[in-house]
Structure formats: C-alpha cells, structure tokens
Amino acid sequence: MNQTYPSFSAEDLQLLAPFLKIGLLATINPDGLPHLTFISSLRPNTPTQLTWGQFAEGKSKEYILQNPKVGFLMMTLQKDLWRGKATFTHTAKQGTEYDYYNNVPMFRYNAYFGIHTVYYMDLLYHLGRQPLPMGQIVPAAILTILAKALSPHRSQQPALNLWTRKLLSKLDTLKFLAFIDQDGYPMIIPVIQAQPSGMDSLIFSAGVYQEELERLSKDSTVAILGLALSMEDVLVRGEFLGLKRKAGILCGEVAVNWVYNSMPPAPGQIYPPIPLEAVREF
C-alpha cells in the first residue's frame, strides 16, 4: 500500500498552482458505478481542501451531489502526479474562489465558458508527489501491443466505434482507470498503455502499477477515460475480467458495455445507443 498524506505541503501547493495541468475527478453514479471526468480547473485551495469550477454541464456534477465520495488525479506538465480521495462538501456562486477562477485568463477572456459554480471538497488523503513512470509505461505499451497482436479478440458487441478505437489506439492518448475501492471511495490508476482489442474490449499490460491493479476485484465494474492532447476524450465502462496472460504477457482486460461522450457541447451516452424519440410538443 502506498504511503498516504492527510494534507498538501507548501511545495505541493506551489507545484499545483499553474492552471495548465490535467485534472481528473472520479465520482459514483446512482447505480454505484464509477464515472471519470476531465476537470481542468481542479486544484488544491488549501492544504486540506480542493476546489474546481463548473462551466459546462455533465454527469459528474449530478453524481457528486448525490454521493460526495470522490477520487482525484492532478498531473503537471512536468509529468508529476498527485492521486487521492476527497469528500464533496458544498458549492458557491460567489466569493474568493469564484472570483479567482473567473479572473484566470482561460475563463476571463472566454465569452462562452465562464465559471458559474465552484465546488469544494475536503481532502481525505493523497499519495504524495509521484513522477509518471515513463520507464515502465513505454515497455508496458509495447507489451500491450504484442499481446493484442498475438491474442486477437473476437468481438461480441460493437461497443467501440471506429472513432473511439482510433482515439484509444494512439500511443499519445492518456488513459486512466477508475474503480470503487473497498472504503467506498473511487480511486484512479493511470493505464496509459491500454489498447482496444476488437470492438468491445480494452487490454493493458500489468507491467506498471501492477500492485494496484492486483487489488481490483475480478468482475467488478471499472471506467476508463481516454484523453488526447487535442482535447478529445471518451469514457468507457465495463467489467474487469482480471489479470491473465495473453501470449505469455500478464494483462488486465475490460469487457466494455457502455460508452459516453464527455465532450461539450452535448455530452451523452453513445453505447448502448439511445433510441431516437419523435418531438411531439413544441
């Protein structure tokens, strides 16, 4: 188990102050399943509190109001990351943090996407500053591609369309997995090496973060967010089939049964497809 910290240090606060970084928020939907969202404004506000600003609608904003348990990840441009858990407490539509967000250049000069609500979370713990282990991720990505090529998967459902498969196949697309931990809080694990296998499965070598991946219960539901540098992203969810060897390579596999477009202006479910309904009232 990784060492945990109950607060952010002064150095943490300084390193996480820049607005240009990756922020991810893992929430829990009404069915008790993990949901993962890119939140660019996520930041530690004090040593024991995090905040983020809402400028677009999405499921995570609904879910956090229903279940305050969240997981988070923040990664700087230097590829240092902080992961942990927090508890949502309240929102505000004015105040110091509200003014701060709306004076950041990204939002101050954006005529369409101003911050209208600030969300506050109390830190439960974080795992400390950790460099993204590229020395392990690159070999894991190569092994994943080998396992994919040498153990072809026969698809049962067309869950992953062509666009989604292309996005998730790119080596520079960042991928992160969220699961519900034993304490009921979501947790996030980087799985940048993940690749689509067929049209309804994702596989990833366990050569990086193996100890954490081994904690995942077989048949549990996990979510994986794919995030490209072009700011395109997609969220998939499915059953974790456990760690097993493919062509001699230890891999995790997720049987995908749900796909969600989390990009504005119209986030929504892609798979299973939602039937179109006729508009009868105007």
CATH of the domain at 203: 2.30.110.10
CA angle 263, 264, 266 (to 5 degrees): 100
pLDDT of residue 267: 77
Torsion of CA 106, 223, 166, 208, to 10 degrees: 100
Do residues 67 and 149 share a domain?
no
Do residues 14 and 124 share a domain?
yes
Number of domains in the chain: 2
Do residues 122 and 16 share a domain?
yes
Query: Is position 56 within any domain?
Result: yes
Q: What's the whole-model pTM score?
A: 0.93
Domain that holds residue 259: 133-263
- CA distances 221 to 32, 33, 152, 269, Å, are 9, 7, 23, 17
- The set of residues, in sequence order, having a beta carbon less than 8 Å from that of 102 and lying 6+ positions away, is 53, 108, 114, 115
Query: Is position 36 within any domain?
Result: yes
pLDDT of residue 229: 83
Do residues 251 and 139 share a domain?
yes
Boundary (domain end) residue, out of 96, 130, 164: 130
Do residues 112 and 23 share a domain?
yes
Name the DSSP class of 178: E
**Alpha helix positions (H), the chain:** 10-15, 59-66, 96-103, 105-108, 134-150, 162-169, 210-213
Do residues 111 and 181 share a domain?
no
pLDDT of residue 265: 67
- In a structure prediction context, what are the per-residue pLDDT tens digits for the chain, which is 282 residues long? 689 999 999 999 999 998 889 999 999 999 999 999 999 889 999 999 999 988 777 788 899 999 999 999 999 999 999 999 999 999 989 888 888 888 876 555 454 567 788 899 999 999 999 999 999 999 999 999 999 999 888 888 899 999 999 999 999 999 999 999 999 999 999 999 999 999 999 999 999 999 999 999 999 999 999 999 888 999 999 999 999 999 999 999 999 999 999 876 677 899 998 887 777 776
Do residues 157 and 54 share a domain?
no
Do residues 107 and 90 share a domain?
yes
Boundary (domain end) residue, out of 107, 130, 153: 130
- CA distances 224 to 37, 221, 236, 269, Å, are 10, 10, 5, 15
Residue type, 22: I
Query: Is position 271 within any domain?
Result: no
Query: Is position 47 within any domain?
Result: yes
pLDDT of residue 111: 46
Do residues 104 and 163 share a domain?
no
CA atoms of 85 and 186, how far apart (whole Å): 7
Do residues 14 and 52 share a domain?
yes
Do residues 137 and 252 share a domain?
yes
pLDDT of residue 224: 98
Query: Is position 276 within any domain?
Result: no
